[in-house]
Amino acid sequence: MSIFTVIFGTISEWFLFSLSLYGLAKKLGWSEKWRVWLPGLRFSIFGDAVELNQDSSFCSITDILYIAGAVGSFTVSREGSLFILLALASLILFVFFYLSRLRIFLRYIILFGLKKRWVILWLIADWLPLMIIGFGKKHQPRTDIRFEEAWEAGTKPAEIPGVEKTDKAWEAAGEGLSINLKEKTVKDHRKKRYLLKDIALNIPNKSLVMLLGGSGAGKTTFINAVIGYEKADATVLLNGSDVYKHYNSVKYRIGYVPQQNLIRGKDTVLRTITDAAKLRLPATLTKEERRQKVTEVMDTLGLTSGSEGLVANKSGGQLRRISIAMELVTDPELFVLDEPDSGLDGVIAREIFGKLREIADEGRIVIVITHTPDRVVDLFDKVIVLARDSGRVGRLAFYGTPDEAREFFGKDTMEGIVMSVNSKAQGGEGLADEIIGRFAERTGVQEAEAAS
């Protein structure tokens, strides 16, 4: 096979595939139709349109590399080892390239409501079914498929009057946790996507705080930003110390218990907590001081009895207590827990939250994410409600006491409050924008009254 045959075949494949994409571009209303004719960029628009960003990025790069490798293999001796390496690399690249393109095509089958047997045409010639779909009048995209809507999520926050002024009115408190989060963004395949925006509040010490919000509201992202795990455009002060500027020292004053129990099952309870103390507490502490701290924490959480038993033999409630003890042993000023009651019955969950109430009363700030808030809400001082606005960006919908939350939302339960800010697609009332704006206005009035 001559190099001219390879070049002709490559150009023919490029033209036919690009022409089929041009038909799709017209039918789907793509604004940058010229991109379908350029190697690399054509696959970028091909995958982006159906929200397969990683596949489209991989195909864009591989498209260029595969063409270069195929042509380059004819510029070296076919008897040399370099030719074998190039041929092998091209083959491997082609396999992954083909699979990524197939995943994208399967998404188009869903978009146009086609049968899976269309894959047979793809196997014969990948451009053929795209050509039929793109130029055939019979085939039209389904209106109930919202790939593009999901792709635009978070790229344009809703414009809600008064919300952008919250950070200007915010003043850090001298003590406790002060948060002024202007925005948390990520780069998602050339798009700037907003995850959180305009969240400003002060939490005093000795507070047990409930963090509420529907799916996608940004609760975990907010927590990660507050504890410095994922930084945002924000100011976060813990008792006067800047969490971001002095993270290497402040991080030891923060405890975080994830939803999963990350504990070795073959160790005893005592050894597990003692090992955590050795790793987390300052090296300047004596062995006796560490032992005393471990004893205090185990007494607080009711783990002294059975401390020599294996972790693997403990119940779900005891495992949560052990996870809490491993962080509490460091004596954190800020203590964050992600669903500490997950999988526990009401009685055990109540006991866990009762312990957290005691921990907060000792002078700490304890923030808890929970999906069963009403069974323990009476133990909490404050409630933070995050909501996803119409632009699908997490915003502050409320911060105050549980009684103030019920009055503000006009709801009797915390679950009812969450449902009011959830979208209608999530079975909620879809009032997020309205409530976010109303809370911003309420906060502005309070700030003005305080200043006068």
- Number of Cβ within 10 Å of residue 328's Cβ equals 26
Task: Identify the residue with better confidence: 207 or 448.
Answer: 207
pLDDT of residue 349: 85
Most confident of 1-15, 191-205, 301-315: 191-205
Average pLDDT, the chain: 83
pLDDT of residue 207: 97
Examine the pLDDT at 276 and tell me if it is beyond 80: yes
- What's the average model confidence in pLDDT over 380-393? 94
pLDDT of residue 449: 46
pLDDT tens, position by position, 35-83: 888 877 787 777 776 767 677 777 778 777 766 655 555 555 555 576 6
d(CA 452, CA 440): 19
Residue 450 pLDDT level (bands cut at 50, 70, 90): low
Q: Where are the domains of the chain?
A: 3-149, 163-451
Q: Which of 55, 75, 359 lies closest to 206, judged by CA?
A: 359
Minimum mean pLDDT among 224-233, 259-268, 320-329, 407-416: which range? 259-268
Examine the pLDDT at 242 and tell me if it is beyond 80: yes
- What's the average model confidence in pLDDT over 424-430? 86
- Number of Cβ within 10 Å of residue 8's Cβ equals 11
Minimum mean pLDDT among 177-181, 211-215, 285-289, 393-397: which range? 285-289
> Is 369 in a helix, a strand, or coil?
strand
- Number of Cβ within 10 Å of residue 263's Cβ equals 17
Residue 213, token pair as written in the block: 């919000």
Residue 240, token pair as written in the block: 């006067």
Residue 42, token pair as written in the block: 């054509």
pLDDT of residue 3: 58
pLDDT of residue 75: 57
Residue 447 pLDDT level (bands cut at 50, 70, 90): low
Please give the CATH architecture assigned to the domain spanning 163-451.
Answer: 3-Layer(aba) Sandwich (3.40)
pLDDT of residue 358: 92
Examine the pLDDT at 404 and tell me if it is beyond 70: yes
Examine the pLDDT at 334 and tell me if it is beyond 90: yes
Task: Identify the residue with better confidence: 1 or 54.
Answer: 54
pLDDT of residue 448: 47
Examine the pLDDT at 342 and tell me if it is beyond 50: yes
Residue 187 pLDDT level (bands cut at 50, 70, 90): confident
pLDDT of residue 287: 86
pLDDT of residue 316: 80
DSSP per-residue codes, 247-297: HHHHGGGEEEE-SS----TTSBHHHHHHHHHHHHS-TTS-HHHHHHHHHHH
pLDDT tens, position by position, 282-320: 778 888 888 888 888 888 888 888 778 888 888 887 888
How are strands ordered across the β-sheet holding 191-203? Answer: 241-242, 233-238, 177-188, 191-203, 394-400, 382-388, 207-213, 365-369, 334-338, 254-257
pLDDT of residue 400: 96
d(CA 313, CA 310): 6
pLDDT of residue 74: 54
pLDDT tens, position by position, 355-378: 899 999 999 999 999 888 999 999
pLDDT tens, position by position, 118-147: 988 888 888 898 899 888 888 888 765 554
d(CA 146, CA 259): 31
Examine the pLDDT at 117 and tell me if it is beyond 60: yes
